[in-house]
């Protein structure tokens, strides 16, 4: 019977950690959205000024590049937080669950890599 309690407590711990990680990810998403809104207002102000089209486009490109870099940094930090938070628990989980978390981390990295490639090519 002690194994059931241990598995139950580990399961509860993983669930709590996953919930907390989700809250952090949502919080980071909200912060990223707010930064994007601030930059949108800055871009509108920049575009409304009486400057040449080349200067406007240069400013827009710079602001867009900054925004993408900030969002990428937020996503990287969230991913690292989740991975480092779950690593100590992986040793206590069954092999099948560990394989799933490893696969999920790999897929997350692959999606971020694809997004970076698409942004860089446009």
To the question of pTM greater than 0.85 for the whole model, the response is no
Q: How many domains does the chain have?
A: 1
* pLDDT score at 40: 84
List pLDDT tens digits, range 74-110. Answer: 878 887 887 787 777 777 777 777 787 778 778 877 8
For residues 46-67, give the mean pLDDT: 74
CB distance 74 to 28 below 8 Å: yes
**What is the rounded CA–CA span in Å between residue 3 and residue 7?**
6
12 alpha carbon, distance to own chain's centre: 24
Residue ranges making up the domain that contains 63 = 2-121
**What is the rounded CA–CA span in Å between residue 20 and residue 9?**
16
**What is the rounded CA–CA span in Å between residue 18 and residue 27?**
14
């Amino acid at each position: 019977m002690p194994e059931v309690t241990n598995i139950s407590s580990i399961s509860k711990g993983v669930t709590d950690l996953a919930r907390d990680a989700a809250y952090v990810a949502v919080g980071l998403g909200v912060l990223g959205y707010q930064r994007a809104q601030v930059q949108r207002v800055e871009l509108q102000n920049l575009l409304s000024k009486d400057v040449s089209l080349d200067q406007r486009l240069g400013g827009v490109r710079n602001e867009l590049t900054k925004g993408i870099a900030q969002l990428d940094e937020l996503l990287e930090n969230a991913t690292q937080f989740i991975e480092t938070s779950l690593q100590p628990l992986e040793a206590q989980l069954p092999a099948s669950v560990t394989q799933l978390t490893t696969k999920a981390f790999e897929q997350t990295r692959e999606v971020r890599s694809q997004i970076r490639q698409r942004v860089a090519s446009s």
